[in-house]
Structure 1
Amino acid sequence: MSHEHAFASNRQEQRLLRHRFEMAPWIAMALMLAAVSVTTQSSAQSWAFGPEFESRVGYVSNIDLDERDGEDAMRVTGAVGAVAERRTDVQVIRLRGQAGYSSYLGSDDDLGSETFQQVQGRSQFVRENTTWQLDGRAYRDRNTERNEQTIDLTDPDDSLDAGSDIDTRISRETITRYRLFLTPSVSHDLSDRLSVGAGYIGRYLGFEGSPPGYVDSWNHEVEVRTDYALTQRDTAGVSIIGGQFRPKTGGNDQDLYGVSLNYRRFLTERSGLIASAGVRRLEPAGSADDLDSSTGGVGSLQLNTRGEDWVGAITAERRLLPTLSGVLNETDQILLSATHDLGPRWQASILGRGFTTRAVGRPTPVDTTRRFVSVAPGVRYRLTPEWKLTVDYEFRHRDREGIPGTANSNLVYLGIQYTPLLGP
């Protein structure tokens, strides 16, 4: 086989794989809706199903998070979707599909628009002493005319982009981004006190039509763990982790090894503490001869609590995450979320996030440290149990070592939202 023929065959195979992944969210959404429709007809008591809708209009200052004064503009967003849920004595399944659009208005420049599609799924199955869990998300977005890879703070539990997109990149061309997140796990109780478990975390970041600097990558991690109940309130354990980071372009392949000690405590009936601390080791793999080995600490501390009319959580952690540039970043992060019912119709909430991130394993001539802070309070007014009027504000701050000045941005949105009530 000639070199040209082999190269053409390889490109054709890459296009086929890309096409399959691009269609995956749509296929999964169609299968979800079809399965829910059929199952609902045959077993209406098992499944609950409903549509979702959200539309917002707002104002954004310094939309590029530029150290110099950036552009301001009005922004409109809209999203439609569907959610399905099934609950039995031994199983919980929740599926969600969504598609949306956003665009900037009121500027002489064409600031572009964005479309996105996503499919999410979560399942838990309990049988005797064994629990199976599966969480997954497939996401595709497409920016036209102007690409802005910024921080998405819509879900504080979504760690897909934590620390990966702090460098806003602007491009006058269409860019399509793919993200996949998959976490199956299983745990088994050997006795009243002792349990063992295993899990996998897979992350994919992919780009189409991107300028230089964007790199497709896979990140795989496998964990085995054991936990022992010290008391009715306290549980301790140990985890062993192995992983691989494989960017599409060669030279940055890395293998990950680590061990962590874990601790969990129920402080009260309504609050709990989860902590872990350990060490990780990064080693160059394959042709990554110019990478350095790296040893460092990892860990997390999480507090969850709830009252009669409020729910809150705070997390502090250090972790390794893939980036859009095809390297691994070490990220120190704090996440905060709280929701409080002010009355029968009013609800207040706040989301907060702050992190510092730096590249690891690769020697660089400049400091790669990046800092980002976001604070997003909001208010909801219930027109009905399903319909809500929303008011949201968000402040964003970015600071990059080696670049003079800092960047701030303010976002204000008014919106209307429909969320179905499914089960308890």
Structure 2
Amino acid sequence: MTDTSPHSDLHTDLWPAPYASGAVDATVTVPGSKSVTNRGLVLAALAAEPGWLRRPLRSRDTLLMAEALRTLGVKIEETVNSSSSAAGGTGEAWRIIPAGLHGPATVDVGNAGTVMRFLPPVAALADGPVHFDGDARSHERPLHGVIDALRVLGARIDDDGRGALPMTVHGGGALDGGPVEIDASSSSQFVSALLLSAPRFNQGVEVRHVGAKLPSLPHIRMTVDMLRQVGAQVDEPETGGEPNVWRVSPSALLGRDLTVEPDLSNAQPFLAAALVTGGRVTVPDWPARTTQPGDALREIFTEMGGSCELTEAGLTFTGTGRIQGIDVDLSEVGELTPGIAAVAALADSPSTLRGVAHLRLHETDRLAALTKEINELGGDVTETEDGLLIRPRPLHGGVFHTYHDHRMATAGAIIGLAVEGVEIENVATTAKTLPDFPRMWTEMLGV
């Protein structure tokens, strides 16, 4: 795990988490989905014709992806239509104009899993070397699944045997593709990375997962759904295919006009606020059908004591003032774990969060970080082999460290609603996927 001492965070500014003196009653417009935005950028860059991405998320992760594609030769024009409203507050749109991918180039991945995993297959299609590097934590995050698979498929990669960054992909202008076995049990992004670029491989790809249970399956479903939207042919387990096997045929990709959904995982802290305060929060434009993992919040938070209604206006979530513990397998929706753990720490009965051992390899070791930070506020959290056991206890104020992890910061803010004196270290890390979170949070509370 990354050092979880307070001194591991270079940004020591403390943000007093607002305490909720009463029930929240607010409408919160959530910016676009990071997962959809970054997949949409990659697919548009690989298309045979220009395309549009409307209401994209502008955050650190998505701007890193856009800039990386620009360094490879893709043209991305940003426009704002002030007459249209959108999730995220503007009528912004990006026009993506594909071009011949080329090196030499250097890609800064920051600490974005989608950038460090989705772009090496793209770089293998470029003409020339592409060097990848990023934040210190990015060197610790697993990349072996993508590196090993690309080598099997015909790519040449220099990583000094680390299976991690930094590394250089020596693009040859094309990639053979074909069948490959990978262990994606540490990240479903290994599968998505190969599938996204596969239509451009000479033989397409057949990805066979051979490891333990695959986490975050909704994100692979999102990848498949978006591939089909741009004309790719995909055979997958969900539609009668062989279990743990995905096949993508070689083909040209269409340039599409894609509108990005609100990021439902980023809606989590706001829905949690309704649950914690016994209030009501409406998130506009919540889709009736989606592959986003955040849609599971409707069921999970309802089980923890709230209720929700989905209408044309969006999703309205209402709390009762009582929070119940939960026993839940979060293997498919692991990114929701920090927020659920924060709510569970305020519940009236114990909670068991299971199926999320892979979170030890995320932006930080989220299981260890949540355990340490909640316990230092007086909580009783125990790490298990694949999750957390949370026994609620009266909490007190204190510093909640984030370890450069956006979801740790929002988890601390949730606890701060019910516990006076909580201070979030480096709340600015939320800019990774949720720009301007402190303003959105205080406006929701009417502060």
The TM tier, using the shorter chain, reads under 0.3
Which entry has the higher C-alpha Rg, 1 or 2? 1
TM-score of the superposed pair, with normalisation by structure 1: 0.23
If asked which structure has higher relative contact order (CA below 8 Å, sep 6+), I would say: 2
By percentage of residues, which structure has more strand? 1
By percentage of residues, which structure has more helix? 2
TM-score of the superposed pair, with normalisation by structure 2: 0.22
